[in-house]
Structure 1
Amino acid sequence: MRRYSLVILLMLGTWMGAAQAAECPALLQGDLQKLRSQERIDLCATFAGKPLLVVNTASFCGFTPQFKGLEALYQRYKAQGLQVLGVPSDDFRQEADSSEETAKVCYVNYGVTFPMSETQPVTGSAAVPLFKELAAQSQAPRWNFSKYVVDAQGKVVASFPSSTTPDDPALLAAVEKAIASQR
């Protein structure tokens, strides 16, 4: 009897895992290493069903001061469900050489409280799956601090170039549209 119960539990676990993957949008399937941590960010468990702003970042870019505005945006809308994910990348040769230095820029210099991943490739064939899907739904980042607004169903509703500041009215409108998608 125990053997059959174990088989049934294993089959049920496999079926439930497949059902969860089917419910998780393609954009959010996978995980990323959290910045300066052994923890991983399970994209589906963390962001599924929530509006999301994804930004590829760099510590030594002319747009790096946008961290302050991104944090302000996060604080302004997080009670309404908005999530922000920062993904450092050295694809444009402006990211710090170490996680410690990247973390200092984000957490100490700019007071970032939203999730940040370890440095990841975000362009071309080496891009992590998240950025491959963002590119498929819109376009690949052309520079650091490209911004992608994703609705609660995992669809990109708008993308913005590096020069778009976090307080830009068009970006705010896209964020509010994504927030409305969770209702």
Structure 2
Amino acid sequence: MASSRKWARFISSIASFTYFSLVIFQVPLFRVPCRTGTCKSPLQVTSSQLIASEFFPEPVVKALLYPGAVAASVLKKKALPSYNDLLKSYDSIHVKEVRAAMDLKRIEVLAGSYFMVAGALMSLIKPVRMSFFGALLVTWGLYSEVFPRKAAYIYSDKAIRIYPMMILAIVSAFSSMRKDLRKIIHICKKCRSKAKLV
């Protein structure tokens, strides 16, 4: 039992860090139209909504966006972005003028993105089921949007897409749930010991 706890703690900590990195560094997980044009990560969807609603002050939103902006500039070998002009690079200046109907049309993606970002931040303290639930909600929202469409829409420039990294986000969100992971490891050990007896 003790070894299953150790394994669960080890796997959960790696999965939590992976999930946190995917969300905070804004690794492209999907592609969806949003208030800023096209959003490719849950943090971009969430930040555009937070700026438009003025629920959080802009410095808080900038602090959330900055690690991803730095990571993108390092990968593209560009100069580090200015903290003051950060919202310009994300086209978030005129986000308040865009109609809210765009977000309400994809409410599952918006709500799931909120859950994913909150789950990633909370995973620094303790992994929560919110991350997994948010990832599933976003996937369901995007899938229900793409599936009924014709192939011509799917392959257009404004297409809604789910990138392969979304699978890693779902797996890491699930693997970060320590109690559930411990139960799975314990069940697997019981099955293996029964198989050895047979």
Question: How does the TM-score come out when normalised to structure 2?
Answer: 0.29
Q: Which has the higher strand share?
A: 1
Structure with the larger RCO, 1 or 2 (CA within 8 Å, 6+ apart): 2
Q: Larger Cα Rg: Structure 1 or Structure 2?
A: 2
